[in-house]
Amino acid sequence: MPKLKTKSSAKKRFRLTAKGKVRRQQAGKRHGMIKRTTKQIREHRGTKIMSESDSKIIKKFMPYG
């Protein structure tokens, strides 16, 4: 059986937790920070866990974790 290829874009953007959940960066932090409130900027720090339906798609892109 040949090895499956990992999608390079998914490899760079997502990480799997120990329990197999998918972590992702917060959206809306690239530019335009002056328009956003301080509260919005503060709440968008760090990473979030993806929903189950979305994480199923990402796990297909990263077959070996």
Please report which confidence band the pLDDT of residue 1 belongs to, taking 50, 70 and 90 as the band edges. Answer: confident
Mean pLDDT of 5-29: 95
4 pLDDT higher than 90: yes
Residue 43, domain member (yes or no): yes
Mean pLDDT of 19-42: 95
Residue 13 CB neighbours (<10 A): 14
Q: Tell me how many domains the chain contains.
A: 1
Residue 1, domain member (yes or no): no
Give the domain extent around 28.
8-61
d(C-alpha 65, C-alpha 63), whole Å: 6
Residue 19, domain member (yes or no): yes
Please report which confidence band the pLDDT of residue 13 belongs to, taking 50, 70 and 90 as the band edges. Answer: very high
Residue 32, domain member (yes or no): yes
Amino acid symbol at 29: K
65 pLDDT higher than 90: no
Whether the CB-CB separation of 26 and 45 falls below 8 Å is answered with: yes
d(C-alpha 3, C-alpha 54), whole Å: 24
Residue 18, domain member (yes or no): yes
**CATH code for the domain of 18:** 4.10.410.60
Please report which confidence band the pLDDT of residue 57 belongs to, taking 50, 70 and 90 as the band edges. Answer: very high
